[in-house]
């Protein structure tokens, strides 16, 4: 099956070539959904100037060349082409989509290697709400690329190295390994850090020990490295609890933290300096990528090595980009990181190009993540002004979902399972339904609502279809009848579903999961209208109509479930 807009684009371009010559065959037909027909083509308006003819005259010529089109074409207004597809064409395409295991979603040709850098919490502290969006969006992009057949390499760039680890290891020794591990595994990484910091600021002896420990860590002292592993292993075990709760696909094998790049940093600096890409400036080793200037109009430096000999984020990111290009053989590199890092990554990418480390075949892209806001429109924090712990926020979402379904007649285990699914769907869908570079307000009351563009509403749409099949005594896979679209609500739903395959491809290429959310919400809305206007299993519905409508229900269910799965949004069997 083929997306209707792709079919129309090809047909109109062929008509343009026949009517006005092959040199016009590549003109954009400007096809858009229309309230006056299925689609409207506005190409006559733009082409008329080039041809020096009246737009309506151009439109009439195009219409003449579309005489064999499977539907109707009408010229309206000054030169709009209103196009309505024939029902039999839609029905055949929908039937082919129902029989297609991939629902019309193509595969990448050729397949690419896509490195996706996402989540990346700081191991020195506990995961907080600032890590939620990077984790959710990055995981959705990983799922989408894998569905298209690309090789996805997840990179969880943990903050697991640097000066804070001197005081963290010393604090671990002070309280004992067992107590430290218990605290870290319980999700009290922030409290652990705060206690270590308080001692570092108030105890000169502790500060001295911490600084010495940083040196032994960086020099590879075996005992210090063992203690570092004790700390990191406990911290990662807690991170995994959060990932399991969220249902994201990151594993320990995907960890590629700052520590991994530590052995590469000296060579990174040496190679950049040797090639002349990096130069000494006021004692620091810097790259000055062209086109970047500060407020004083002077060239802006990307500091690769500090004047005291220390390394920073830029050093690690330069090492990482070279590793991902040369070792991982990346075709695309998606950095799912906050908006505030935009300038940093622009300069890193420019510096990598300047150094010759970025061939034309490798594309780095900053997938910018907007800030999460509270209801007051400010950065989402606790009342005391601290960052909200991510685990606390997720648990609150589950608790809200539990209240939403507490009147259902389910056993306790089923209640917990559904509450977890609904809570995570509420949080994840609310995030994904907003353009990733936009800010959005975190409002659990709205997120768990069963109406509007929410995760629970999407889940309810799938549950409603499954309920129809249970009452019919059938499984969705049993609905294999042809699809007939007699009623307007049937036709609107069937036509909409045909756009799923191409949309998934475009969403993946453009890193735009919010567009998939919008498509799924429209699917659920059209389903609701169909449900109200087109009885499926009620008394009086003839068997043929029942079977046709069950087939349309089965196709709708598969599209909703597949789309939500690609976003990482769970779908319970019942609600």
390 pLDDT more than 90: no
Handedness of CA 472, 476, 479, 482 (dihedral sign): positive
Q: What is the pTM of this model?
A: 0.94
385 pLDDT more than 80: no
142 pLDDT more than 70: yes
User: Distance between CA 77 and CA 64 in Å, rounded?
Assistant: 17
- Across 43-59, average pLDDT: 91
User: Distance between CA 547 and CA 536 in Å, rounded?
Assistant: 8
383 pLDDT more than 60: no
Long-range contacts of 219-225 (CB under 8 A, 24+ apart): 224/169
48 dihedral zone (left: phi>0; alpha: psi -120 to 50; beta): alpha
- Across 53-76, average pLDDT: 93
User: What pLDDT was estimated at residue 409?
Assistant: 81
User: Distance between CA 27 and CA 9 in Å, rounded?
Assistant: 10
H-helix or E-strand spanning residue 499: none
Inter-residue contact 130 to 372 (CB < 8 Å): yes
- Across 28-45, average pLDDT: 92
User: Distance between CA 275 and CA 267 in Å, rounded?
Assistant: 12
77 pLDDT more than 80: yes
Lowest mean pLDDT among 390-394, 466-470, 547-551: 390-394
CB atoms within 10 A of CB 105: 21
User: What pLDDT was estimated at residue 83?
Assistant: 96
- Across 48-75, average pLDDT: 92
Q: Each residue of 147-206: pLDDT tens digit? A: 999 999 999 999 999 889 999 999 999 999 999 999 999 989 989 999 999 999 999 999
Q: Each residue of 399-442: pLDDT tens digit? A: 999 988 877 788 889 999 999 999 999 999 999 999 999 998 88
H-helix or E-strand spanning residue 477: none
- Across 198-224, average pLDDT: 94
- The residue whose two tokens read 């590793």 is 323
User: What pLDDT was estimated at residue 412?
Assistant: 87
H-helix or E-strand spanning residue 140: helix 132-147
Inter-residue contact 315 to 347 (CB < 8 Å): no
Name the pLDDT band for 386 (thresholds 50, 70, 90). Answer: low
Lowest mean pLDDT among 1-5, 175-179, 468-472: 1-5
Lowest mean pLDDT among 164-168, 268-272, 372-376: 372-376
Rounded to the nearest integer, the mean pLDDT of the chain is 94
- Across 450-469, average pLDDT: 95
Crossing angle for the helix pair 543-567 and 488-497, to the nearest 10 degrees: 40
Per DSSP, what are the bridge partners of residue 83? 39, 73
User: What pLDDT was estimated at residue 423?
Assistant: 96
User: What pLDDT was estimated at residue 346?
Assistant: 98
User: What pLDDT was estimated at residue 127?
Assistant: 80
Terminal CA-CA length for the chain: 33
User: What pLDDT was estimated at residue 443?
Assistant: 87
Q: Each residue of 327-342: pLDDT tens digit? A: 999 999 999 999 999 9
Distance of CA 51 to the CA centre of its chain: 43
282 pLDDT more than 60: yes
Q: Each residue of 91-117: pLDDT tens digit? A: 999 999 999 999 999 999 999 999 999
User: Distance between CA 301 and CA 285 in Å, rounded?
Assistant: 9
């Amino acid at each position: 099956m083929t997306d209707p807009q792709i079919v129309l684009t090809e047909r109109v371009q062929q008509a343009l070539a026949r009517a006005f010559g092959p040199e016009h065959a590549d003109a954009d037909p400007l096809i858009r959904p229309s309230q006056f027909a299925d689609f409207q083509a506005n190409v006559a308006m733009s082409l008329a100037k080039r041809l020096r003819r009246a737009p309506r005259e151009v439109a009439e010529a195009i219409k003449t060349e579309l005489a064999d089109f499977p539907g109707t074409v009408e010229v309206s207004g000054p030169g709009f082409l209103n196009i309505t597809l024939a029902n039999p064409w839609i029905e055949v395409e929908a039937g082919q989509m129902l029989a297609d295991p991939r629902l019309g979603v193509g595969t990448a040709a050729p397949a690419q290697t896509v490195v996706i850098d996402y989540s990346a919490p700081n191991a020195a502290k506990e995961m907080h709400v600032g890590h939620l969006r990077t984790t959710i969006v990055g995981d959705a992009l990983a799922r989408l690329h894998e569905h298209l057949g690309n090789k996805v390499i997840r990179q969880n760039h943990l903050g697991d190295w640097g000066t804070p680890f001197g005081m963290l290891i010393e604090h671990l020794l002070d309280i004992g390994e067992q107590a430290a591990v218990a605290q870290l595994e319980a999700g009290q990484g922030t409290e652990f850090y705060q206690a270590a910091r308080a001692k570092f600021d108030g105890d000169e002896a502790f500060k001295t020990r911490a600084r010495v420990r940083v040196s032994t860590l960086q020099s590879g002292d075996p005992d210090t490295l063992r203690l570092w592993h004790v700390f990191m292993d406990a911290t990662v075990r807690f991170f995994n609890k959060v990932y399991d709760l969220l249902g994201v696909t990151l594993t320990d094998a995907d960890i590629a933290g700052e520590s991994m790049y530590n052995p590469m940093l000296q060579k990174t600096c040496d190679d950049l300096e040797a090639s002349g890409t990096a130069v000494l400036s006021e004692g620091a080793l810097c790259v000055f990528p062209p086109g970047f200037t500060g407020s004083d109009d002077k060239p802006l430096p990307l500091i690769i090595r500090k004047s005291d000999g220390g390394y920073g984020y830029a050093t690690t990111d330069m090492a990482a980009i070279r590793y991902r290009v040369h070792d991982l053989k990346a075709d695309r590199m998606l950095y799912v990181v906050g908006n505030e890092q935009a300038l940093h990554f622009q300069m890193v990418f420019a510096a990598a190009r300047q150094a010759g480390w970025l061939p034309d075949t490798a594309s780095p892209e900053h997938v910018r993540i907007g800030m999460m806001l509270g209801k007051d429109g400010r950065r989402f924090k606790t009342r005391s002004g601290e960052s909200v712990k991510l685990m606390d926020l997720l648990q609150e979402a589950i608790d809200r979902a539990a209240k939403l379904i507490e009147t259902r007649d389910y056993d306790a285990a089923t209640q917990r399972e559904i509450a977890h699914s609904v809570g995570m769907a509420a949080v994840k869908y609310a995030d994904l339904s907003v353009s990733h570079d936009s800010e959005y307000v975190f409002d659990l009351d709205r997120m768990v609502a069963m109406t509007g563009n929410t995760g629970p509403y999407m889940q309810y749409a799938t549950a409603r279809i499954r309920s129809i099949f249970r009452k019919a005594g059938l499984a969705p896979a049993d609905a294999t009848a042809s699809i007939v679209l007699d009623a307007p609500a049937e036709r609107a739903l069937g036509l909409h579903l045909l756009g799923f395959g191409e949309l998934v491809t475009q969403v993946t290429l453009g890193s735009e999961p919010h567009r998939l959310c919008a498509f799924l919400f429209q699917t659920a809305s059209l389903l609701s209208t169909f449900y109200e206007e087109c009885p499926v299993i009620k008394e009086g519905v003839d068997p043929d109509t029942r079977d046709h409508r069950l087939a349309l229900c089965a196709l709708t269910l598969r599209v909703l479930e597949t789309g939500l799965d690609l976003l990482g949004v769970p779908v319970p069997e019942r609600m």
